[in-house]
Amino acid sequence: GAVVSQHPSRVICKSGTSVKIECRSLDFQATTMFWYRQFPKQSLMLMATSNEGSKATYEQGVEKDKFLINHASLTLSTLTVTSAHPEDSSFYICSARDSGGDTEAFFGQGTRLTVV
C-alpha cells in the first residue's frame, strides 16, 4: 500500500520555540493532506485540511496562526507549531489521500511533541 512518512517521530522543545513536523507521501501524489491531534486515550481530532498550492482549511477552534500549515508540493505538507506551550504537547498525525486514487486515506506514524 501507499506510504506516508512523518518526521520527526518524537520531538521535545522548550516553551516559546517553534517546531516543524513534516508529512510526506512517498509513492503517490496527494493534493490533500490532513492533520490530526490525538490526546491520550482519546480519538483523533481533525485540525486542518492541507491543500496543495492554497491555504489550509482549519477546523473550528483551531488557531491558524499557531498551527501553520504549508503544502508546497504534491508530496509534502508541513505543520509548524509556533510559540509552543506545554498544552500543545500531544500526538500529531497526518494522513494523505492519493490524488489519482480512491477514498482511502493513508496515515503517517505520528509525531509525539513534548513541550517543556
- Residues in contact with another protein by CB under 8 A are 1, 4, 32, 34, 41-46, 49, 93, 95, 97, 103-105, 107-110
Q: Cell 510526506 belongs to which residue?
A: 24
User: Which of residues 13 and 44 has its CB atom nearest to another protein in the complex?
Assistant: 44
| CA–CA distance, 114 with 116 (Å, rounded to integer) | 6
User: Which of residues 4 and 84 has its CB atom nearest to another protein in the complex?
Assistant: 4
Q: How far is the CB of 37 from another protein (least distance, A)?
A: 11
Cell output for 81: 507549531
Q: How far is the CB of 66 from another protein (least distance, A)?
A: 20
Region for residue 110 given its phi and psi (left: phi exceeds 0; alpha: psi -120 to 50; beta: otherwise): left
